[in-house]
Amino acid sequence: MKFPAGAGHFPPRPGNGGNMYDLIIIGAGPAGITAAVYAARKKMDFIVITGDIGGQAAWSGDIENYTGYQFVTGPELVSKFEEHMRKYAIETKEGEEAVEIKKGPAGVAVRTTKGAYEAKTVIIASGKKSRELGVPGEKEFKNHGLTYCATCDGPLFAGKDVAVIGGGNSALDAALQLMRIARRVYLITNAPAFTGDPVMLEKVRASAAVTSMVNTEIKEIIGGKMVTGIRIKKDGTEPTLSVGGVFVEIGLIPNAAFAPEVDKNGAGEIKVNCRNETSVPGIFAAGDVTDVPEKQIIIAAGEGAKAALTAFRYLSRMR
């Protein structure tokens, strides 16, 4: 998208009296949804652009650390978030992902997979995406026995032997879900020890259905039409484990490539200050896409609230 030269304003946007939005929120996970609720309560003129509703939270299994819920599943919590957001009749562009954002003289241009929009401010709450293993067979068997979401696809592997690759909380969460469904779960990490929450690790280790393997490298995903096994490297040997499913849970990558103008850290996360301001005035960020420590649903929600309030104050100073 090209910005008009000199005049300092964007071309008129149909359907809104030729004016820009006050705010565009990119993403509808816990951060984006909470930002939307706060923006709606401030009577801001805004839209939410998102590929889906819920983000990574929708993929979570059992959640026992979100205040107000002693126990809730990820999909249940996301349903409550969405219900809250829908009460405000928020304009939402679902199934639409940001491709590029650029700061101009009068605001920010957002180009998506389906269109282009302009706003005086933007909140990037686009979260993260699953990191890939990068081994032979991974791309060939994606959705053919290899998946990145135990919550989404776990029931398809009932009664089968499966492997969960990873050593952090996402891997432990996947193992906790799958040990109730699969016949055998191999929990595999290339690290010397698992790094997830001790409470989750205790539950996994207490299950006779889970076999934990450390210092184990994944070399290849093998199979025919579907996954039939994985070749691993452990103690100098490269045996093959027969499994009917592989769940990759080795971490996440920030969805921030569409925002090249904002400063990022070495992990690709957007740098923000305590007010959720980025290095570019008028562009704010919240949730897992940022460098805020501890990627938790409750933290992302709080950051989304802060970002919306900061954007509102920024707009107030502009008028």
Q: What is the spatial distance between Cα 245 and Cα 185, in angstroms, rounded to a whole number? A: 10
Q: Enter the DSSP assignment of 242.
A: E
Separation in Å, CA 222 to CA 130, 140, 227, 244, 291: 21, 9, 6, 10, 36
Task: Identify the three-state secondary structure at position 307.
Answer: helix
In the DSSP assignment, the letter for residue 125 is -
State how beta strands 46-50 and 21-26 pair. parallel
Q: DSSP characters for 50-72? A: ESSSSGGGGG--EE--BTTBSSE
CB 286 within 8 A of CB 31: yes
Tokens linked to 81: 């978030």
The catalytic residues are: 149, 152-153
Residue type, position 197, single letter: D
Residue 71, number of CB atoms within 10 A of its CB? 10
CA-CA distance, 58 to 152, in Å (whole number)?
9
d(CA 309, CA 42): 8
Identify the burial level of 101 via C-beta atoms within 10 angstroms of its C-beta, where 0-12 means exposed, 13-18 middle and 19 or more buried. Answer: buried
